[in-house]
Structure 1
Amino acid sequence: MKYLFTKQLWALALILLLFSCENGDDERPLGKYDSGILLMNEGAFGANDGEVFHFDPASGTLTQNIFETENNRPFAGLLEDMVLEEDRLYLVANTGKVEIVNPGDFKSIGAVIGDLDQPRSLATARGKLFISDYGPYDASFRTPDSYVAVVSGLDGGMVKKKIEVSNKPEDLFASGKYVFVAGSEEKKVEIIDADTETVTKTLEVSGKPVQFFEQRGDLWVYSYDRENVYFQSFHRDNLTKKNFLQVPIANATSRIALGEDDRIYILTSTGWPDYKDGIAVTSIFDSTLIPSWKAGSGFYGIGFDKARQEIYVANSKGFQGNGEVIVYRKDGSVVKTLEVGRGPSGFLVR
Structure 2
Amino acid sequence: MKFKKHYVSILAIAFLFASCTKDDVAENDVPLGAYDNGILILNEGNYGTPNASISYISNDFLTFQNNIFLTVNPTKVLGDVAQSMSFDNDKAYIVINNSNKVEVVNRYTFESLGTITENIKNPRFSVVLNGKLYVTNATSKAITIYDATTFSYIASIELNKTAEKIVTANGKLYVMNGAYGYGNQVTVVNPTTKAIVSTITVEEGVNSIEEKNGVVYVLCGNSARSKLFKINSSSDTATSFESTTLTGSLNMDVEGDKIYYTSGAGVYVMNTTATSFSETALISVAYTPYSTFYGFNVIDGNIYTADANGFTADGTVTVYNSTGTVVKTFTVGKGPNSFYSNK
Answer yes or no: same fold by TM over 0.5: yes
Question: Does the 8 Å contact 1:259/1:265 carry over to 2?
Answer: no
1:77 has 2:48 as partner:
no
Q: Does 1:173 align with 2:139?
A: no
Give the AA of the match of 1:79: A
Matches of 1:127 and 1:260, distance apart in 2: 26
Q: Which ranges of structure 1 fall in alignment gaps of 5 or more residues?
A: 1-14, 136-144, 270-276
Could you tell me how far 1:59 is from its partner in structure 2?
4.7
Query: What corresponds to 2:260 in structure 1?
Result: 264
Is 2:278 the counterpart of 1:289? yes
**Structure 1, 257-266 or 39-48: larger mean CA deviation:** 257-266
Q: What is the number of equivalent residue pairs in this alignment?
A: 312
1:69 match: secondary structure: helix
Contact 2:50 2:77 in 1 (8 A): no
Corresponding residue of 2:191: 194
| Runs (5+) with no aligned partner, structure 2 | 1-12
Q: Taking structure 1 as reference, are residues 94 and 193 closer, same or farther at Cα in structure 2, changes over 3 Å only?
A: same
CA 250–102 in structure 1, closer or farther in 2 if over 3 Å, else same: same
Query: What displacement does 1:190 show?
Result: 1.1
- Report the counterpart of residue 342 of structure 1 in structure 2: 334
Equivalent position SS for 1:68: helix
Rounded Cα–Cα distance in structure 2 between residues aligned with 1:126 and 1:305: 25
Note the alpha carbon deviations across 1:272-294, whole angstroms, 9 max, x for none: xxxxx443444442356135431
Does residue 229 of structure 1 match 2:217? no
1:125-274 mapped onto 2 (5 Å cutoff):
125-135=129-139, 145-151=140-146, 153-155=147-149, 157-184=151-178, 185-215=182-212, 217-238=214-235, 240-248=236-244, 249-253=246-250, 255-259=251-255, 261-266=257-262, 268-269=263-264
Aligned residue in 2 for 1:274? none
Displacement of 1:115: 2.3
8 A contact 2:315–2:335 mirrored in 1: yes
Q: Name the SS for the 1:55 alignment partner.
A: strand
Structure 1 residue 45: Cα displacement:
0.8
Indicate how the Cα distance of structure 1 residues 104 and 160 shifts in structure 2: closer, same or farther if over 3 A, else same: same
Matched-pair contact (CA < 8 Å) for 2:131–2:149: no
* 1:78 Cα offset (Å): 0.8
Percent identical pairs in the alignment equals 24
Which residue identity lines up with residue 104 of structure 1 in the other structure?
Y
Task: Give the distance between the partners of 2:183 and 2:70, measured in 1 at CA.
Answer: 38
In 2 relative to 1, CA 75–47 (structure 1 residues): closer, same or farther, beyond 3 Å?
same
Instruction: Say if 2:90 and 2:108, in contact at 8 Å, map to a contact too.
Output: no
SS at match of 1:162: strand
Compared with structure 1, are the counterparts of its residues 260 and 181 closer, same or farther at alpha carbon in structure 2 (3 Å cutoff)? Answer: closer
TM-score normalised per structure 2: 0.81
Residue 77 to residue 214, structure 1, CA distance change in 2 (3 Å) = same
RMSD: 2.8
